[in-house]
Structure 1
Amino acid sequence: MGLKELLLLQFIAHLCLDYFFQTDRLAKQKNTIGFKSPFLYWHALACFALAWLFSLLLSFVLAAAIISISHFILDGFKRHLNNSRYFGRYAFFIDQAAHLAILVIVVVLFNKWHGINPSIEVSLNFKYLLIITGYLVCLKPANIFIREVFKATEIQVSSDNEMPNAGKVIGVLERILTLTFIIVSQYSAVGFLIAAKSILRYGNNETLKTEYVLIGTMLSFGIAVIAGIIINFF
């Protein structure tokens, strides 16, 4: 295992922590009351456990603690960022960028000062890790990213004819299929998928709703396409 594999493993740990191991309700509580949130302390403890576990290194314990403490501090102060007049709408992107920057810095410094010397050598294929990461990103993280893009750009369309959460499920399915088609180099199938969705979703006269769906679709396919390109590049 080398630096690239360790970085990817820590990124996967971050995805699990911030997207799969917390509900929207708990995340909202944490973002609203900051350090007063009981969940924040459990969240920080889970951060430490996942960072250490996914490192596959006993010696990574101090680095995992640093990642956990920084995560705790950033999430604790995020409520102030959310309430900011100028930066509130971009709080999600600033917060995630800060988390990832700290993660990269800690891992790089750990490799520089300590070195990646596991007691038991673990053979990890970087491309397989990338594929796993790509599929994880295409699930809940992509849904939240698209939602935050709409929030940041103040795009909102209400409709009484939509099934709750149907758009999220459709988005996950289209990203999984798109990523799979790109990995196996079936690019024509991606075009067919886009065309099929266009016929089904854009056959109405609601201009605003159509543009709203079009933006979401472009973001959704864009995430999957970029993930597929990165995987194929390596």
Structure 2
Amino acid sequence: MGIKELLLLQFIAHLCLDYFFQTNKLAKQKNTIGFKSSFLYWHALMCFVLSWLFSLQVEFVWAAAIITITHFLIDGFKLHLNNSKYLGRYAFFIDQALHLIILTVVVLLFDKWQGINPYVNTFIEFKYLLIIAGYMVCLKPANIFIREVFKATDIQVSSDNEMPNAGKVIGVLERILTLTFIIVSQYSAVGFLIAAKSILRYRNDETLKTEYVLIGTMLSFGIAVIVGIIINLFLFI
């Protein structure tokens, strides 16, 4: 295992922590009351456990501690960022950027000062870890990213004729299919998928809703396409 694998494993740990191991309700509580949230402390504990566990080496304990402390502080002070007049709408992006920057810096410093010596010989290659991370990104993280883009740009459309969470499920399915088609180099199938969705979701009598769906669709497909391109770049190196 090299630095690329360690960095990607830490990224996967972050995805698990911030997206799959916390509900929207708990995340909202944490973002609303900051250090007063009891969940924030459990979140920090899980951050340490996941970071250390996914490092596959005992020596990473101090690096995991740094990642945990900074993660705890960023999430605790996010309350003030959310309340900011100018930066509040971008709080999610600033929060995630800080987490990923710190995670990357800590891993690079750990490699320089300590070296990478896993106690478990993993046979998972970097490209397979990348595929796993890619599919994870296309699930809940992509849904939240799209929601936050709408929030940051003040795009809101109400509708009384839709099933709850149907859009999220459709988005996940289309991204999984798109990513799979790109990985296996079936680009024509991606075009067919986009065309099929456009025909099924388009209605002339709901212009605003159509534009809303179009923005969401472009963001959704865009995420899957970019992730697929990144994966293919490493697959064919």
TM-score with structure 2 setting the length = 0.98
Deviation at 1:117, TM superposition (A): 1.5
Report Cα offsets for 1:21-42 as digits up to 9, x if no partner: 0000000000000000000000
Output the amino acid matched with 1:88: G
Q: Structure 2: any 5+ residue segments left out of the alignment?
A: none
Deviation at 1:162, TM superposition (A): 1.1
CA distance in 1 between counterparts of 2:56 and 2:204 reads 52
Q: Which residue of 1 aligns with 2:225?
A: 225
Mapped pair 1:143 → 2:158? no
How do 1:136-175 residues align onto structure 2 when only pairs under 5 Å count? Answer: 136-175=136-175
Q: Which residue of 2 aligns with 1:93?
A: 93
Report Cα offsets for 1:142-174 as digits up to 9, x if no partner: 000000000000000001111110000000000
* Identity among equivalent pairs (%): 83
Q: Which residue of 1 aligns with 2:45?
A: 45
Output the amino acid matched with 1:181: F
Count residues with an aligned counterpart. Answer: 234
Mapped pair 1:133 → 2:121? no
Deviation at 1:118, TM superposition (A): 2.0
CA distance in 2 between counterparts of 1:152 and 1:176 reads 25
How do 1:67-146 residues align onto structure 2 when only pairs under 5 Å count? Answer: 67-146=67-146
Deviation at 1:121, TM superposition (A): 2.8
Output the amino acid matched with 2:90: Y
Contact 2:55 2:118 in 1 (8 A): no
Q: Which residue of 2 aligns with 1:205?
A: 205
Deviation at 1:101, TM superposition (A): 0.3
CA distance in 2 between counterparts of 1:34 and 1:110 reads 29
SS of equivalent residue, structure 1 residue 119? coil
Q: Which residue of 2 aligns with 1:180?
A: 180
SS of equivalent residue, structure 2 residue 84? coil
Contact 2:32 2:79 in 1 (8 A): yes
Q: Which residue of 2 aligns with 1:20?
A: 20
Report Cα offsets for 1:205-224 as digits up to 9, x if no partner: 21110000000000000000
CA distance in 1 between counterparts of 2:43 and 2:14 reads 11
Q: Which runs of 4+ in 1 moved over 3 A?
A: none
Of 110-119 and 208-217, the range deviating more from structure 2: 110-119
Output the amino acid matched with 1:129: L
Q: Structure 1: any 5+ residue segments left out of the alignment?
A: none
Q: What is the root-mean-square deviation in Å for CA atoms of aligned residues?
A: 0.7
CA distance in 1 between counterparts of 2:215 and 2:204 reads 16
